[in-house]
């Protein structure tokens, strides 16, 4: 997680982060446990600017903002260089915001007015959704962090119940749950519920996929089906439940597999072609048609980088299955 914060902070300093990355960075700043680390990152990242750009804003060893322009001559010179002005303004604003966040806490929050229809009116719920080819970072009321994958939704209360924290997921999300003694965190995905106290794990539960999968990266997770425990998972373990067959399978996985999508990689271990293509349609917001029904049931293991694009991913699948890729009227066809 610390490397992720550094990465986001550098992108923000360089003015290259997306809105989602901006939201994620400032959500990290709201978490009290991150205060000292964010201060250290700020000092490290601004030190280079301090030594190479004497007039740039920076934070000293005490966490104080220093080096702001304070005379008309320097100000006039700065405003003759548009690129340099932009960079320094970003640095100055970043320093001020991060100091404020670490000392006083930010009130930057993500809320919308969607209210679930299946809960009592007295309980105010928030529903976050993503479109195809979109993902969101969310900070829940208890400081649990959630990365919501494409074409997914997460429903949660504006304030959690003191006895238990409950959310409803459709699609895929990676959770880093804030530990709270005796207050379980429960994720509902249809008949499957996942119960944790504080841990990091991924849930993939798209309705059109063959199976629901829960993968644990850290801690311990209890998985239940129809209120009966079916698995107790620890680090490096996952369980899958067939959406139609109800077949339950447990296995070990490579450490980085569950969060591969979060890092820009698409990893499929023993997936059907049909499920892989459904994923690619969500990730790239495209339509893919397969002429052979038998092809969709074929199982393969493969991986792609998201940045390679859908054309490259489909070409790899066609080589694996000895098929041909065509593009007709904006639709991809595999024959």
pLDDT value of residue 8: 75
Across 84-104, average pLDDT: 45
Picking from 75, 104, 133, the residue at the C-terminal end of a domain is 104
pLDDT value of residue 255: 67
- Domain annotation covers residue 111: no
Same domain? For 138 and 80 the reply is no
- CATH number of the CATH domain containing 210: 2.60.120.1440
Same domain? For 247 and 167 the reply is yes
pLDDT value of residue 195: 96
The per-residue pLDDT for range 191-228, each reduced to its tens digit, is 999 999 889 999 999 999 999 999 999 999 999 999 89
Picking from 252, 276, 311, the residue at the C-terminal end of a domain is 252
Q: Which residue(s) pair with 71 in the sheet?
A: none
Average pLDDT, the chain: 78
Which among 230, 210, 233 has a CA at the least distance from the CA of 220?
233
- Domain annotation covers residue 258: no
pLDDT value of residue 244: 87
Across 282-300, average pLDDT: 93
- Domain annotation covers residue 286: yes
Same domain? For 150 and 99 the reply is no
- Domain annotation covers residue 110: no
The per-residue pLDDT for range 113-172, each reduced to its tens digit, is 344 444 444 579 999 999 999 999 999 999 999 999 999 999 999 999 999 999 999 999
The per-residue pLDDT for range 251-274, each reduced to its tens digit, is 998 766 767 888 889 999 899 999
Confirm if 265 and 302 have CB atoms less than 8 A apart: no
Same domain? For 292 and 229 the reply is no
- Domain annotation covers residue 109: no
Q: When comparing pLDDT for 41 and 301, which is higher?
A: 301
Picking from 252, 282, 317, the residue at the C-terminal end of a domain is 252
pLDDT value of residue 25: 74
Output phi, psi for 242, to 5 deg: -65, 130
pLDDT value of residue 1: 63
Same domain? For 100 and 189 the reply is no
Range of the domain at 272: 264-334
* pTM recorded for the entire structure: 0.65
Same domain? For 226 and 301 the reply is no
Same domain? For 43 and 73 the reply is yes
- Domain annotation covers residue 328: yes
Confidence of residue 281 (pLDDT cuts 50, 70, 90): very high
pLDDT value of residue 112: 41
pLDDT value of residue 275: 95
Number of domains in the chain: 3
Asked if pLDDT for residue 246 goes beyond 80, the answer is yes
Asked if pLDDT for residue 176 goes beyond 80, the answer is yes
Same domain? For 227 and 136 the reply is yes
Asked if pLDDT for residue 84 goes beyond 70, the answer is no
- Domain annotation covers residue 177: yes
Across 55-69, average pLDDT: 42
pLDDT value of residue 51: 47
Give me the percent of the chain exceeding a pLDDT of 90. 53
Same domain? For 232 and 205 the reply is yes
Same domain? For 247 and 130 the reply is yes
The per-residue pLDDT for range 4-48, each reduced to its tens digit, is 777 777 777 666 767 667 767 766 665 656 666 666 666 665 555
pLDDT value of residue 66: 44
- Domain annotation covers residue 188: yes
pLDDT value of residue 36: 64
Confirm if 194 and 187 have CB atoms less than 8 A apart: yes
Asked if pLDDT for residue 65 goes beyond 50, the answer is no
- CATH number of the CATH domain containing 286: 3.55.50.30
pLDDT value of residue 32: 54
Across 186-194, average pLDDT: 95
Among 75-89, 131-145, 181-195, which is the least confidently predicted range? Answer: 75-89
pLDDT value of residue 123: 72
Same domain? For 161 and 231 the reply is yes
pLDDT value of residue 64: 44
Same domain? For 45 and 18 the reply is yes
């Amino acid at each position: 997680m610390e490397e992720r914060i550094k990465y986001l902070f550098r992108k923000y300093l360089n003015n290259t982060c997306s809105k989602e990355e901006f939201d994620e960075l400032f959500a990290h700043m709201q978490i009290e446990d991150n205060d000292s680390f964010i201060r250290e990152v700020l000092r490290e990242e601004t030190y280079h600017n301090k030594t190479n750009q004497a007039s740039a804003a920076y934070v000293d060893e005490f966490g104080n903002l220093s080096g702001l322009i304070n005379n008309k001559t320097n100000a006039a010179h700065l405003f003759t260089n548009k690129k340099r002005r932009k960079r320094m303004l970003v640095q100055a604003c970043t320093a001020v915001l991060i100091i404020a966040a670490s000392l006083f806490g930010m009130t930057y929050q993500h809320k919308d007015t969607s209210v679930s229809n299946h809960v009592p009116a007295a309980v105010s719920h928030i529903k976050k959704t993503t479109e195809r080819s979109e993902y969101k970072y969310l900070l829940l009321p208890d400081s649990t962090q959630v990365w919501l994958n494409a074409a997914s939704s997460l429903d949660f209360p504006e304030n959690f119940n003191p006895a238990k924290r409950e959310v409803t997921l459709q699609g895929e999300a990676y959770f880093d749950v804030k530990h709270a003694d005796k207050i379980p965190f429960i994720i509902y995905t249809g008949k499957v519920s996942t119960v944790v106290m504080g841990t990091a794990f991924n849930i993939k539960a798209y309705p059109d996929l063959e199976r629901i999968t829960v993968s644990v990266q850290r801690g311990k997770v209890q998985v239940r089906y129809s209120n009966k425990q079916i698995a107790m998972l620890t680090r490096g373990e996952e369980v899958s439940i067939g959406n139609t067959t109800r077949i339950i399978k447990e296995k070990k996985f490579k450490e980085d597999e569950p969060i591969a999508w979060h890092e820009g990689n698409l990893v499929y271990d023993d997936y059907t072609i049909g499920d892989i293509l459904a994923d690619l349609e969500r990730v790239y917001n495209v339509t893919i048609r397969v002429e052979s029904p038998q092809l969709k049931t074929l199982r393969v293991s493969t991986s792609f980088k998201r940045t390679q694009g859908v054309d490259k991913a489909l070409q790899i699948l066609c080589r694996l299955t000895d098929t041909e890729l065509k593009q007709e009227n904006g639709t991809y066809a595999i024959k």
